Amino acid sequence: MKKCFLIISVLVPIFCFGQSKIDSLVKVGVQYHDKGEYAKAIKVYNEALKIDPKSTLINYELSLSYMYSGDNEKAIKHSDFVIKQKKDHLLPSYVTKGSSLSNLGKTKEAIKVFKEGITKFGDDYLLHFNLGITYSKMQDNKNAGLAFINAIMNNPNHKSSHYGLAITKYQQDERVQSLLSLYYFLLLEPSSKRAETAYRLIKEQLGGNVKKDENNPMNINVFLDPKRMESEFSAAEVMIAMLEASNSLEENKDKSKEELFVDNTKSFFMVLGELKENDKKKSNIWWDFYVPFFYDLAKSEFIDVFCYCISISSSEKAREWLKKNDEKLENFGKWIKEK
């Protein structure tokens, strides 16, 4: 008994030292990974792996760094190790394995992995999001859109899911849905390269049905797509078609582009909100999530702040306006938190 106690007394501090060393190495590896220095992170993780080759934490972190470094095969190898252990870090390993398979062009295998993960862990937004990305690579916009919607319903603040949904709907030529997703994405991410693209797509789609007569600039031709007139957003489609034309009215001639953008955005949100009020049965992510929020925003005193906020990546005047109205911007932030 004394001998057994002696062995335990010796092994405990050795184990604790080993675990402490692993924790330190993993911490350093994560720091390298977060800075984008994936080769250094991998080197550190491999040092930790020599101490404990069966660690699910180390294998998961290795798989992630390998994926980001472009070595998807090794990412899958270490993800598989974690998945087979059936212990910790399972869910993110499914995400990493599926994403790595998708990166390799093995889209059908990737979809199988994401769906298996969803079956095991329920509606995790990252599984749904990456499933959407994979469907997008296959140009399967219908299933991509459904996956992005599921991601948003599980994490409404996930920026990339709103952006993915917006691009998917844009490619499907579903303008109202694309606009709603773009507006919400810009609320979450107003300043980035993606924000510049999102803002450009909003401007494009708000004026997409209008062409000026080259021979007579006073004449404006409005085109209505019959297919759009059959959708649940037909009234909003008509209103969008008229927005650009209304910008040329005498009453708007002295307004800046930024001011007209505020007016058009408010009109868009108001029409959708009124459609929802007139038909309470309308129910999906567009009518239950996006429209109520933007309708409340359109009726608030902050619609102009919102429009200037989402324009900062593309408009110097918007940036100047926000600097002059910092108190209103702060109050807008408080309003958002209360929603």
Q: How far is CA 148 from CA 101, 131, 132, 168, 288, in A?
A: 19, 8, 6, 9, 16
pLDDT at residue number 257: 85
Q: What is the pTM of this model?
A: 0.87
Mean pLDDT by 10 residues, the chain (339 residues): 42 47 86 95 93 93 97 98 94 97 97 97 94 97 98 97 98 95 98 96 80 53 60 83 66 76 94 89 92 97 97 92 94 92
For domain 18-93, give the CATH superfamily: Tetratricopeptide repeat domain (1.25.40.10)
The encoded tokens of residue 26 equal: 């993993």
The encoded tokens of residue 79 equal: 């993800």
pLDDT tens across 249-295, in order?
A: 556 666 788 888 999 999 999 999 999 988 878 889 999 999 999 99
Delimit the domains of the chain by residue range.
Answer: 18-93, 214-338
pLDDT at residue number 283: 86
pLDDT at residue number 245: 66
CA dist 132 and 146 (Å) reads: 8
pLDDT at residue number 24: 85
- Mean pLDDT, rounded, of the chain: 87
CA dist 207 and 174 (Å) reads: 14
Contacts of 99 (CB under 8 A, 6+ apart): 67, 110, 130, 133
